[in-house]
Structures are given as C-alpha cells and as structure tokens.
Amino acid sequence: MITLRPSPLLAVVAFMFALGLSGCGGRVTGVDPYPRATDYEIFGIDVSKYQGDIDWNAVRASGVKFAWIKATEGGDHLDSKFHQNWQEAKAAGIKRGAYHFAYWCRPGHEQASWFLANVPHDPDALPPVLDVEWNGTSKTCPKKIPRELAQAQMRTILAAMERAYGKRPVIYTSVDFHRDVMVNEFTDYPIWVRSVKYHPSVKYGNRRWHFWQHTAEARVPGIHGFVDRNTFNGSARDWLAWLRPSDMHQPQPVTTTASIHKPSAQPVAEQLPAPVNPSLPNGAPQSAVVAGVKVQAPVAPIAASVSPAGAFQPVHAQGNSVSGNKVASSSKIPLTGAVAAPIPAGLIPSPTPLPPLETSRSVAAR
C-alpha cells in the first residue's frame, strides 16, 4: 500500500479552490461596484508645454473627443505651447478648452485679467476651466490659504470667465483641495475631478462630477510620452447635449481687463501669503515700494484690446514677468490698441529675480 504525504502546495491550491467556490455562493468580497474609466464612451486628454509638439490629427484619429489645454498660471505665466495647441487642436476637429492654474499668492482679479488677456473668445470652444489645487511643492507659494479666502478668489475668477466667454466655467480639483475648500460649495458648476486610484464616488462622495482625470500615464498616438487621460460622465448623446447647454449666453462686450471686479478694500489680497524667493536670506518675501504702494514683485503692466471679431488679445509692455519669462503672443493674431504706460524705471528695484513658478500641476511638473 502506497502512502501519500500531504503536500503544502496541494493544500494551498485546495484552499484557493474552496475560496472560489464560496465566492460562487454569494460571499464575494473586494469587488469594485463602480464602472471603470474605460467603460465610459467619451474620453479626452489635457496637455501643456510638457507634451511638446503634438500631432493633433493623429490624436483625433485615436478616438480622443476633447482636450483641455493649459493657457495661463497666476498673473504672469503663459504656457509656451498654448497658442500652437489652441489653433492646431481646432484645425484637427477636436473640441478644446483652455484652463488657468490658480496661484494662491496672487489676487483673483489679477489672475482673471491675465487669463482674459491671453485666451481668445471662440464660440466653438469648450467652457474655460479654473484649475484649483494646493501647491505644496511650490518654491514661491507653498502655503495653503484659509478656506474662505480660496473661495473668494475662485468666485472672482469664475465670474470674470463666465462674463467674458458666455459659458459656465468648469472647476478642476484634487481630492485634498475639494475636501478642504469645496465640499457643499460651487455645486452649480461643472466639476472635473482627479482620482487616479479610485472611482470619483469613493473620494468625492455624492458630488456630481462631469469629467474624471483617471491617469497621468496614458499613451495616445500623436503624443510623445505620457499624457493625462479623462472621461466624460455620460453617453455620447449626453456629450452632444452638454456641448449645447440651454443656459449659454453671449458674453457682454468687454473692452478692458479693468472691468473685472476688484475688491475695494482688498481684504483677500492683504491676507494672501507673499511669493517667496528662496535665494533671499531666510526665504524672505520679495517686495518693493513702487509709487508709495507695497508690491510683491515688479510686474510689467498688461493692457488688453479687442480685435474686430471681439476676441481678447494681449498687449504686453516691455519687461520681464514675475517668473522671469517674457510672454510672447501668437504672431498669427494681430494686436490692436495702445500699450499701457510702463512703470518708470527709476521706481523699479532690481533684486534677484524670482525663480520660475513651480507647482504640482504646473511649471515644474507639467
């Protein structure tokens, strides 16, 4: 008679088989009840200068239906690929919109002016996007601001965007910023959420969302390297309906960025953390007194003009921005109007310039 010794391997296999049978009986655990990102019909991407030159025709052929394109950040940074991406994406037949990355050390009305001065009004474009996140890795503005101040800045920018472009803006946000600032707020705005590990319902609860950024490592034909991929929360029919919302209105004529609301007492701006120059002793804020007014850094004044088609165009005075970069407008778009008078050179101090802005989703990482 042959005696068989029990094998540890056989024991493990038997256990796993029994576990599988128990699952068939209804005791299944760990099953994700939510749809996967690939279950949604409509998907798109978001891009900035870090994607380099993009073959937008190849992108469209891959099935991409929309693209959010980085335009501006804070009050002085223009993405160097914005105008190229803006024009070429439309030429390829891709629905596209522009987004602004919020910088918490700059008043909201200044950020709104900068966005309006650089993003043309195009009736065919997607609504503008306000990208709000905490920038913990920023070297110039790493601090969080109080919930009420963040909300006030957002409302200023959102109102200016909607008035200028005639469409209710979309708000992009991350899990921690939504938790700290947006819970039960801004419920009348379309929301674009970031959640790379879980379905949005897990991290954002019952918040109704419209777009879901589910990965930063997608591969799309026509783009070298990784790109963010997003899904639209709805069917193809829902997508077409969303592109034609009934509450859209024609923007009111805007002739100057000075029309953007600026708080008279400026309670928000006074409490904003000052941009920091790490090269200065103890990371001291870089500031100066210009014409008797304390400012955080010398900024070249900006004027805006309106082309015959009604599109906002930037007219830049000579000089460097806070980030140390000259902002170049598209050579394909003619500019009209007069350049604002620059600050007299004798009133502008010459300390060590601030380094480029570095934020989690902006200049440093994107």
CA dihedral 148, 133, 82, 52 (to 10 degrees): 170
Q: How far is Cα 208 from Cα 301, in angstroms, rounded to an integer?
A: 40
- The tokens of 208 are what? 């109704």
Nearest to 248 by CA among 88, 79, 123: 123
Q: Which of 133, 162, 217, 358 is catalytic?
A: 133
> Cα–Cα–Cα angle for 188, 194, 198, nearest 5°?
115
Active site residue 133: yes
- Supply the DSSP symbol for 276: B
Query: Which amino acid appears at position 87 of this protein?
Result: Q
Strands 191-194 and 211-218 come out as parallel
For the record, the structure tokens of 189 come out as 């705005």
Continuous H helices in 300-340: none
Rounded distance between C-alpha atoms, residue 257 and residue 164, angstroms: 10
CA nearest neighbour of 340 among 291, 301, 298: 301
CB 131 within 8 A of CB 99: yes
Q: Catalytic amino acids?
A: 133
